[in-house]
Structure 1
Amino acid sequence: MRIGIIGAGALGGTFAVLLERAGHEIQVTARGSGLAAIRAGAIRLSGGFGDGHGHPDAAPTLSGAFDLVLVCTKAQDAEDAIAANAAVVNGSPVIVVQNGLDGVRTATRLLPDSDCFGALSIIAANYTEPGVVRVTTRAATYLGRGSGPADPASKRWAAVLSEAVPVIAVDDFIGSQWTKLVVNMLNGLPAITGLSVQEIIADRGLRRVLTASMREAVRTGMARGIRFGSLQGLSDSRLRFFSRLPLVLGQALPRSMGVRMGSVPNLGSTLQSLRRGQRTEIDFLNGAIVREADAAGAKAPVNAAIVEQVHEVEASGTSIGRDEVLRRIAVR
C-alpha cells in the first residue's frame, strides 16, 4: 500500500519505519530540521521495536494518491496540518493517531469525503533530535470510531497495521479516548518540572498531585456520562473505583503505570515539545478536563493549575521547581 503520514515526530516516525519495514511505500510530512534530517539520511528508530532505518519520501505536504493516511501531529497542530493536506487527502481513509478528544471530529469536518478513524497509541517514544526516535515503551495502539462496537472497516485497518505494529480494534472508541486522557495526565508535571514521568511518580508530593489530576479526570468523565474503555489494564469499573479512593490509596494507580513503563526515562510528549521549543498540547490534555468539567457544571482546579503552569514554562523557558509546584497546587 501507499501510506501517507502527516507528522514525522515520535509516533509518526515510529509508524513510518515499521510500516516501511512491512513492505509499504511511505511518504511523510515534516518541516525544518526534521525534514532536512530525513532527506539527508533516514528516520533512525531504536528501542522497543528494534533498531532500524526508514527512508520514506519526505515533503512539507503530501502528494499523489494514498491507500491510507495517518495523522500523527500533536493535537494543537492537527487542524492546520489536515487543512494543508486536504486537497490531496480528502477521499482517502484517514486514521488520526492523537491524544485528546477532538481529532476524529476535526478530520471528519475537514475531510468530508474520507472515512475517518481514531487511534490511541500507548507507545512511549522520545524524539529530541531531528530524525531520531527511541521507543522507551513498546505497547499496542487501539483503533476505532464512535461509541458502538468496532465496525468491519476498523477491524480491517487494525489487521493491516498489525502486520507492522500491534494494533487492536476496540469497541466504544470514545470511552477509550477518555481512558487514554486519564493516562495522559502523566504529561503535565514533567513539562512543568523538567523531570521524567518515573521521577514524578517516585516523588511522594508530586505523585499526590498527579493522582489528584487523574481523579479529577475520571470524575469529570463520569459527570459527562462516559463509560470508560478498557486500555492497558484500566477499565470502567477500575477507574470508577479509583475515583472514590482517598489520594493516599489512589496513588497505587500511577505507581502501577510507572512499573509498566520500565526504567528508561520517559520524558512525556509535553516535555519533549518544550525541549524542541514548540507549543505543547496541554490545552487538549489537562485543558480538555477543565473544559469538560465546566460543561458538566463542575470544577477541575488541579488540572487548571497544571495548565497554567505549563503555559508559564512555555512563556519563560524555565522549569518550575518541585517545591514551588507543591506550594501552588494544594491537594486534599
Structure 2
Amino acid sequence: MTRSDTSPRIAFIGTGAQGASIAADFTLAGLDVTFIDQWPAHVDAMREQGITVNLPTRQLHTPVKALHLCEIAEIKEPFDVVFMVVKAYDTRWAAEMIKPVLAEDGFVVGLQNGMTHEDIADIVGPHRTIGAVIEIASNMWEPGITTRQNDTDESWFAMGALDPAQQPRVHAVADLLRNSGTVEVVDDIRSAKWMKLVVNAAELIPSAIIDTALNDAARDPQFLEVMRKAGYEAMEAALADGATIMPIIGMPPVMSNHPERYVDQIFDKVLSTFSREDTLTTSLQDWRKGRRAEIDEVNGLVVDILAAHGRDAPVNRLVVDMAKQIEKGTRSAAPENGAELIASCQAP
C-alpha cells in the first residue's frame, strides 16, 4: 500500500446491503473510506443523510463520502485498498472501472459470492488481488438504509492472496476488515471460496425458486434434501476442480472430510448461526427488486465444471433451468416449484 498501513485510502465499490454495513464499520473506526455505488438514489441519500445500519440489537448511523460510478473518473488520488462488493456478474466491469485509480501496490479484495477473484486478477493482476469469503445476512430495500442480521460478533470473513509473494501483506488488510467481524487469513483461498460456493449452491437459488425465507425452505424435509443434493453436486465440482475440503465460517478444524457429511455440517452451520427466521437469500432479494440473480456464477458453475469432467449435475441443472425461466418471465417464483425439484431428486 502506498500510504502508511495505519491510514490507507480505502474504497468500497458496491455499497448495497453488505458493502454499506461493512464500510460503515470502517468509517466509524476513523478510517478514510469512500462509498461508490451504481444506485443513484442510494448515493444521493447517503450524501444527504449518511448511512443507517440496522443491527439486531442496535442501530448505527454515520455521515459518509459517497460517489456515483461516473465520478470514479474524477478521482485524483489512488486507493490503497478497494473492497469489491458488487454482484459476481458485475465483477469484470467494476474491476475495469476501478483499475485506473488503484495504487500500483494496492489491492482489490473481492468480498463476493462465486469465484470472482479469478476475474479480478485477470484485470488488475494476481499481485494486486485478494480473494475473500464473506458470511453475513443482510438486506436493503430503501436508499441509505441497510439491515444487517449478523452483528460483528457473528460476521465472518476469510482472506488470502492470489500471488503467494503477497500473502504476508494480507494481514494488514485483514486488520482493516476486523473492524467488521472475525477474519481468518488462509493460504488456500481458492479452496475456501469453493467451500462457500458449495453452501451457496445449496441455499441461494433453490430457496428463491420457491419464494420463501431460507429457514422455511429448510424446514421441509423433502426440500431440504433438494438443497443438500445441490450442495453435494457442488462439492463434487469443487473436488474435480482441485479444491481441498477445509473448514470455513468458524467451523472447527476437526470435522468430517467426507464430502457429503461436510456439506451437511456447513449447511447446518449457516442455518443455525447466520440465518434468522426472516432471512431471504440475496437471490430472492434480487428477484423481488426486479434484478437478475447470480445463477451462472454459482449453480451454473457447478454444472459447467462437472460437464468439463464428463459428469452431470442434474439437481443444479434443473435449478439453473427453473431460475432462468423465472428471470425470463415464463415461470414465477412460487412454493409450487418445490414439487418439481423434489420429484427430480426422488427419481431413480
- Deviation for aligned residue 1:71: 0.8
Summarize the alignment of residues 60-139 of structure 1 with structure 2, pairs less than 5 Å apart: 60-61=68-69, 62=72, 63=75, 64-89=77-102, 91=104, 92-101=106-115, 103-112=116-125, 115-137=128-150, 138-139=154-155
Asked if 2 retains the 8 angstrom alpha-carbon contact of 1:213 and 1:303, the reply is yes
Indicate which of 269, 275, 278 corresponds to 2:282: 269
Q: What is the distance in 1 between the residues matched to 2:110 and 2:267? A: 27
- Deviation for aligned residue 1:36: 2.4
* 1:287 partnered with 2:300: yes
Indicate which of 13, 16, 34 corresponds to 1:6: 13
Asked if 2 retains the 8 angstrom alpha-carbon contact of 1:147 and 1:174, the reply is no
* 1:47 partnered with 2:64: no
Q: What is the distance in 2 between the residues matched to 1:135 and 1:222? A: 32
Report the counterpart of residue 205 of structure 1 in structure 2: 222
- Deviation for aligned residue 1:233: 5.2
- Deviation for aligned residue 1:12: 1.0
Q: What is the distance in 2 between the residues matched to 1:222 and 1:187? A: 21
Structure 2 letter corresponding to 1:108 = A
Report the counterpart of residue 227 of structure 1 in structure 2: 244
- The structure-2 alpha-carbon separation of the partners of 1:233 and 1:97, relative to structure 1 and needing over 3 Å to count, comes to closer
Indicate which of 17, 31, 45 corresponds to 2:24: 17
Q: Judge which range, 259-268 or 201-210, deviates more.
A: 259-268
Report the counterpart of residue 64 of structure 2 in structure 1: 56
Unaligned runs of 5+ in 1: none
Asked if 1 retains the 8 angstrom alpha-carbon contact of 2:17 and 2:139, the reply is yes
Structure 1 letter corresponding to 2:109 = I
Q: What is the distance in 2 between the residues matched to 1:35 and 1:145? A: 31
Report the counterpart of residue 160 of structure 1 in structure 2: 176
Q: Judge which range, 142-151 or 39-48, deviates more.
A: 142-151
- The structure-2 alpha-carbon separation of the partners of 1:18 and 1:256, relative to structure 1 and needing over 3 Å to count, comes to closer
Q: What is the distance in 2 between the residues matched to 1:219 and 1:147? A: 26
Asked if 1 retains the 8 angstrom alpha-carbon contact of 2:210 and 2:337, the reply is no
Report the counterpart of residue 3 of structure 2 in structure 1: none
Q: What is the distance in 1 between the residues matched to 2:41 and 2:331? A: 23
Q: What is the distance in 1 between the residues matched to 2:51 and 2:94? A: 20
Asked if 1 retains the 8 angstrom alpha-carbon contact of 2:322 and 2:331, the reply is no
Structure 1 letter corresponding to 2:140 = Y
Q: Scaled by the length of structure 2, what TM-score is found?
A: 0.85
Q: What is the distance in 1 between the residues matched to 2:289 and 2:224? A: 26
Q: How big is each residue's C-alpha offset from its partner over 1:27-61, in whole Å with a ceiling of 9 and x where there is no partner?
A: 11112222222223122101158421232221223
Aligned residue for 1:206, secondary structure, equals: helix
Sequence identity percentage: 25
